[in-house]
Structure 1
């Protein structure tokens, strides 16, 4: 914790997402390089992008943690020492590991680097926390299968300087601590090496060997066939209980998510944490506002995971695997001119003259306005911005910081 206030740790699957997380209130971000991390399908960071991201974050007082959390095989140790030394030279604040072999190499070649233990390591009891602390780990990401009561007990049995980090929001894996074998079995894409294809979100059926082509639905009672499909975690209503349990870092899942998602979820938890620390009653009064904003971005329904007890059947989404959302990413702000009250933006989704879009600021309600006086880069009037990443300008009702996001309502919630 920072002076008693929990750290807000946001995901960054790209340099753009990192800058977005910083703008919208993260105290720290976690990223991955092109190797050794468990999100191979994220855009991830080249060495140049990683250095730019670390420098950008540090100039704004934000920490950067780098995932090195694959479950390593022998071949993965070639070049590992050099990679860790490079991260240290870049100024990374911490590395996140899950494998004991990688931890041992890190202690040998970058002894001064802060080491965090990934949730993949399944630390589920106070003795495991104590053991990893003795191995030089400074922070442990609690296994997702722990209840708040268990976390409180672990906190009471561990050294004060050992930070406990825990997920507060995002997608949940049906497998214990994310160690899934289905992806490897079905698609030869190893989830434990970061290449999961998410077979838990697929629709399943049974086919009898002598009746090829005849499929029989596999159902959880009458509910449906997506029986591995977990709801997303959302602990926005339980910040007091998480603080009281001794969690020092609130982690948001989502290195595969869009900048809009990163912005919205970071913003909401930033406002919620600040409100609770300043005035618990004001926090409680704002819970409907927080929940309303979180409902706008993509999710699969929300649950409390294991925190309040073992999940039941209601924690799964059986009838479909699609995300629900009501807002899409329309544009990112590149510049604001206070004299003309115009913003230069980069398009991320088509929007048109006369259409309503909303400005998502780091604090407060989104600000809706009608698109007026839309112009291209040459200053010529245009009816719409249909081209991906085209640069356009428009009049806006308030000052917008660079990097701020414009969003628009989607026609369908699916």
Structure 2
């Protein structure tokens, strides 16, 4: 008989305050966000201190936690003001900071005592001795490098008591633990200081250039990508038992720059899978609907990354790709009238009468229907909702709640 000693935390990305609230509403135990400085996502919707206060209050009311990523590699002068930044996070009530640079770790530990520190995946922790080193330095948790395999996770867990966090879903980086200089060379944007232009995701070709200014492809007319440095995404939805049994404390979803459609869907799926397994591990059965749901927000093909061996060419994006069903996020439910069965919806993308749409919500509830009537804010009958963020009403086939989402297949 299997015994679950600890249910792991579902840790979701939150690039904005809206995404933070969405992630928690859809089952995340914790979220990680970025501040206005010291992070690696300068183009994400990073949080002001006032937004952090609102996010922390929202999370605490729902027994969830908020972590702040401050995982940049600091050059001379980059750490100026870090002590005040960390003290402010502590006073706001942030539950922990995620850091990779020893300078920032030292500043946080000495100038903001009481603020827990988690080691970022950027620090490439791949063995238990490293985890023990950081535990002795006072860190509560280590985010493993994404290159760590499942057998290594088991060995690490057996030899250290420090909390372990590991990525289980989302984009993979082609460089070791995300430490890359491609962006620096190709677009003068420092990936390790928050400016990554994702050069590895660009399309590449092989050219013959016999004369100045002439570019002639040696591949010739190929529509697929013949060359790539781009990795497929990770998904560990089939391996929840191994993740839980090997003692990982926090299961991390990548994607601070992803939409609320992505955040809600992925958080919802992993919440269901983990709760189902932990409730009755001996009789756990994988639900194919979980994987089907993840494909609705997938941008690339999926693999298990490094967990079960070193990725091969099959885990790279080149040549003919598998066709991925594309769903568009079209609206969010604001309210529902039980008597009339009419939902008030904030439009996010164009939809109208005759479209087949899917509603889904927390707890893995969802249903499909055809839109047969639509009203605008003035109660006027309309055929379509073409304007961004407009408020519309429609009759729904089943009860819905605020925060429920609408999508349709493209």
Residue 16 of structure 1 and its aligned partner are, at CA, apart by 1.1
Calculate the TM-score normalised by the size of structure 1.
0.93
Cα distance 1:3–1:398, how it changes in 2: closer, same or farther (>3 A)? farther
Larger deviation, residues 6-15 vs 357-366: 357-366
Counterpart in 1 of 2:170? 170
Alignment deviations for residues 301-358 of structure 1 (CA, whole Å, 9 cap, x no partner): 0101000011111111103799944211010122222232222111111110221111
Aligned to 1:127: 129
Structure 1 stretches lacking a partner, 5+ long: none
> Quick check: 2:357–2:408 contact (8 Å CA) kept in 1?
yes
Which residue in 1 is equivalent to 2:374? 374
What SS is found at the alignment partner of 2:78?
Answer: helix
Q: 244-253 or 396-405, which moves further after superposition?
A: 396-405
Aligned partner of residue 330 in structure 2, secondary structure: strand
**Which residue of structure 2 aligns with residue 29 of structure 1?**
31
What is the match of residue 252 of structure 1?
A: 253
Deviations 1:50-105 (A, max 9, x none): 22111111111110011111111122222211111111111111100010000000
Alpha-carbon distance in structure 2 between the residues aligned to 1:184 and 1:31? 24
Residue 225 in 1 paired to residue 226 in 2? yes
Aligned residue for 2:77, secondary structure, equals helix
Structure 2 equivalent of residue 139 of structure 1: 141
Partners of 1:299 and 1:323 within 8 A in 2: no
Task: Tell me which residue corresponds to 2:345.
Answer: 345
Q: Distance in 2 between matches of 1:110 and 1:84?
A: 6
Q: Equivalent residue for 1:96?
A: 98
Give 1:84's aligned residue.
Answer: 86
- The answer on whether the counterparts of 2:338 and 2:399 sit within 8 Å (CA) in structure 1 is yes
2:173 match: secondary structure:
coil
Stretch deviating more after TM superposition (256-265 or 79-88)? 79-88
1:250/1:358 CA distance change after superposition, 3 Å: same
1:276 is paired with a residue whose SS is helix
- Larger deviation: 77-86 or 172-181? 77-86
Deviation at 1:375, TM superposition (A): 1.2
Mapped partners of 2:369, 2:224: distance in 1? 41
Contact 1:201 1:226 in 2 (8 A): no
CA distance in structure 2 between the aligned counterparts of 1:393 and 1:339, rounded to whole angstroms: 14
Kept after mapping to 1: 8 A contact 2:301/2:322 = no
Match of 2:394 in 1: 394
Q: CA RMSD in A?
A: 2.1
Q: Does the Cα contact within 8 Å between 1:204 and 1:217 map onto a contact in 2?
A: no
1:10-54 deviation per Cα after TM superposition (whole angstroms, max 9, x unaligned): 011111111110111000001111221111121222222222111
State whether residues 28 and 271 of structure 2, in contact with CA within 8 Å, keep that contact through their aligned partners in structure 1. Answer: yes
Q: Which segment is superposed worse, 391-400 or 182-191?
A: 391-400
Q: Is the 8 A contact 2:206 2:218 kept in 1?
A: yes
| Partner in structure 1 of residue 265 of structure 2 | 264
SS at match of 1:366: strand
Q: Name 1:71's counterpart in structure 2.
A: 73
1:348-382 deviation per Cα after TM superposition (whole angstroms, max 9, x unaligned): 11110221111111123521112233111111111
Provide the rounded CA distance (Å) in 1 between the counterparts of 2:354 and 2:209. 58
The equivalences for 1:99-110 within 5 A come to 99-110=101-112
Q: Secondary structure at the match of 1:230?
A: coil
Matches within 5 A, 1:228-243: 228-243=229-244
Deviation for aligned residue 1:157: 1.3
CA shift in 2, pair 1:323/1:130, >3 Å: farther
Q: What TM-score comes out, normalization by structure 2 length?
A: 0.94
Distance 1:36 1:324, change over 3 A: farther
* Cα separation, 1, equivalents of 2:60 and 2:321: 38
Partners of 1:369 and 1:190 in 2: how far apart?
47
Q: Return the offset for 1:208.
A: 5.1
Corresponding residue for 2:157?
155
